[in-house]
């Protein structure tokens, strides 16, 4: 199984400041078609998860452009250019290259 | 609008059974693979199972293999999860979810239900 490791576990942020979350996979998520099979999700308090980024760097529909995904192979980063209060929640990465689909352990983003 | 609504959760004793349902609307259900994903209290997300759009292919996490069965009824736009031999560690919110694109387990799960809670306890 592909193991997904996120850091940090907790991320206190100041509104208006940037934030960054790292995700590493135990195997490369780069497929022969050139795409990285890595998604990012946020789960806001009391809500279902929602898709932010798919295929490593593509913003999902309706996701603000302050969110960006980057990386390739085994190392990926989710960046928030300017954190807003509504961004609090737990952020997860997930690989969809192979079954079983696996998630990172989550990064809790909270306002300082 | 595109919607998934789970039902069937509840309290069950260890060793018992439960059947979860998920009603889909707002999209062509028969075109999409579908997933069950769960979240234990205070924990992260765990993929449980998928089923192909044609009902031919299924797969399960090792933690539930041999105990859970996934099925769908495309005529009723419904997804099911039959859970047998339940254990305390199966206690979780169970989400029905849809991948972003039709025809496979593509990158991106862009539709999630609100979840249904399963509690396994004596």
Q: B66: which 2 tokens?
A: 């041999």
Q: What is the mean pLDDT of residues A94-107?
A: 96
Q: Which of A96, A97, A103 to mutate to test the interface with B (most CBs of B within 10 A)?
A: A96
pLDDT tens for each residue of B6-49 = 999 999 999 999 999 999 999 999 999 999 999 999 999 999 99
Where residue B104 falls among pLDDT bands split at 50, 70, 90?
confident
Evaluate if residue B71 carries a pLDDT over 80.
yes
- Which chain A residues are within 8 Å of B58, Cβ to Cβ? none
Closest CA to A66 of A42, A48, A45: A42
Percentage of chain B beyond pLDDT 90 is 94
pLDDT at B105 over 80: no
Residue A44 C-alpha from the chain's centroid:
13
Min distance B24 CA to chain A CA atoms (Å): 16
Q: Is the pLDDT of residue A71 over 90?
A: yes
C-alpha angle A71-A75-A77 in degrees, rounded to nearest 5: 55
């Amino acid at each position: 199984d592909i193991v997904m490791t996120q850091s940090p576990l907790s991320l206190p942020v100041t509104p208006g400041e940037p934030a960054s979350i790292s995700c590493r996979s135990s195997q490369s998520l780069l497929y022969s078609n050139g795409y990285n099979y890595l998604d990012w999700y946020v789960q806001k308090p009391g809500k279902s998860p929602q898709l932010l980024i798919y295929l490593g760097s593509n913003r999902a529909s309706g996701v603000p452009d302050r969110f960006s995904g980057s990386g390739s192979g085994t190392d990926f980063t989710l960046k928030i250019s300017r954190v807003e209060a509504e961004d609090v929640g737990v952020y997860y990465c997930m690989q969809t290259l192979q079954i079983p689909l696996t998630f990172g352990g989550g990064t809790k983003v909270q306002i300082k | 609008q595109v919607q998934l609504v789970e039902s069937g959760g509840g309290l069950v004793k260890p060793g018992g059974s439960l059947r979860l349902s998920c009603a889909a609307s707002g999209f062509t259900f028969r075109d999409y693979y579908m997933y069950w994903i769960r979240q234990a209290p205070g924990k992260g997300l765990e993929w449980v199972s998928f089923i192909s759009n044609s009902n031919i292919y299924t797969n399960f996490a090792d933690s539930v293999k041999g105990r859970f069965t996934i099925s769908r009824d495309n005529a009723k736009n419904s997804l099911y999860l039959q859970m047998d031999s339940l254990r305390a560690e199966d206690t979780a919110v169970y989400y029905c979810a849809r991948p972003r694109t039709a025809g496979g387990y593509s990158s991106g799960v862009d539709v999630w239900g609100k979840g249904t809670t399963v509690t396994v306890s004596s």
